[in-house]
Amino acid sequence: MSILITGGAGFIGSNFVLDWLGQSDERVVNLDKLTYAGNLENLASLQGDARHVFVHGDIGDFTLVSRLLAEHQPRAVVNFAAESHVDRSIHGPGEFIQTNIVSTFHLLEALRAHWGALEGEARSGFRLLHVSTDEVYGSLGAGEPAFTETHRYEPNSPYSASKAASDHLVRAYHHTYGLPVVTTNCSNNYGPYHFPEKLIPLMIVNALAGKPLPVYGDGQQVRDWLYVTDHCSAIRHVLADGRPGETYNVGGWNEKTNLEIVHTVCALLDELQPRTDGRPYREQIAYVTDRPGHDRRYAIDARKLGRELGWKPAETFETGIRKTVAWYLDHRPWVANVLSGSYRDWVKKQYGD
């Protein structure tokens, strides 16, 4: 038996592969395009492990995906492959449209052809789990209830619009063709192997380098924070027992403002890696011009996942963020290798010198 993971060298995907093989001997076929955020170093501990088969390729390559499905006969596909950074989508939406919509369509076509030829238990047990985001739901006001699975889609960035389109395609392939799919919409993930363009790793890396800690606008944007291994656990639950055609929201029950996050990271670094001059890291905070169309608040209601599948997060924000900061402090070589030319060019473009 095997499962096919797409985007399994990225942040969430690589954590899922490591988590899966830490608990199961079921083989993982890992398809990743290795764009700037895909990093095989995340999977270095699996080198030589016969349970992990890495394939460099694109989910939009119908011929390649069809060959992998025929060769490995996976019982399930978990689709993490996506362009996922809002700021990048504002500067260059084309890649987001191509990967998140067009390539998802080609993946669905390959899966439809493969599943249509299966018989018996192989056909009835097959699943596609499509991993999506809470950003498809748009923005919430301060007093509004959290997003449920029936909340109207109101995406506000090219990124979230492209993910919303991919969600609709997945839904349509279930209702039109019967393809057995489940979709998860998660809140902001954090944890090990997070590419340092996102808020938490960017703050850690910049703080340690003595650089400014850029905070958009007034820093009062609210997000629900989910430790990445809790997300992996939720995906395992949905893959095992989720009902085809259903959507499950995954959240950490941790609503925090961006400024709260930055202050927490600074306080942990003050404790674990103090500045040589003894001054607090929060002195490095620098407010920068807010990005266009910045959603004010996201919040996930994950009660359906708990009620139907018995899932709940294992980490509080306090335990998860401490583990995260400690991981980055303990993995300086990984951080140094990630800080390649493409990353430096991006930071310069986004935040200036």
Q: How many CB atoms lie within 10 A of CB 326?
A: 14
Q: Is 74 exposed, middle or buried (0-12, 13-18, 19+ CB in 10 A)?
A: buried
Instruction: Let me know: does 298 contact 137? Beta carbons within 8 Å.
Output: yes
Q: Which two tokens stand for residue 152?
A: 């109207």
d(CA 210, CA 135): 32
Q: Which two tokens stand for residue 287?
A: 């407010």
Q: Give exposure, 3-31, as e/b (b: 16+ Cβ within 10 Å).
A: bbbbbbbbbbbbbbbbbbbeeeeebbbbb
Active site residue 61: no
d(CA 278, CA 270): 8
Give the single-character DSSP code of 7.
Answer: S
Q: Is the sign of the CA dihedral 353, 39, 337, 342 positive or negative?
A: negative
d(CA 110, CA 300): 32
Active site residue 135: yes
Q: Is the sign of the CA dihedral 222, 224, 229, 232 positive or negative?
A: negative
Of 83, 134, 197, 315, the catalytic one is 134
Instruction: Let me know: does 239 contact 315? Beta carbons within 8 Å.
Output: no
**Residue 273, helix vs strand vs coil:** coil
Active site residue 159: yes
Q: Which of 13, 2, 1, 339 is nearest to 186 (CA)?
A: 13
Q: Which of 76, 328, 28 is nearest to 203 (CA)?
A: 328
Strand 222-227 and strand 255-257: the pairing is antiparallel
Of 137, 159, 248, 281, the catalytic one is 159
The residues with which 181 forms a beta bridge, in sequence order, are 128
Of 32, 87, 135, 224, the catalytic one is 135
Q: Which two tokens stand for residue 55?
A: 């394939």
List active site positions: 134-135, 159
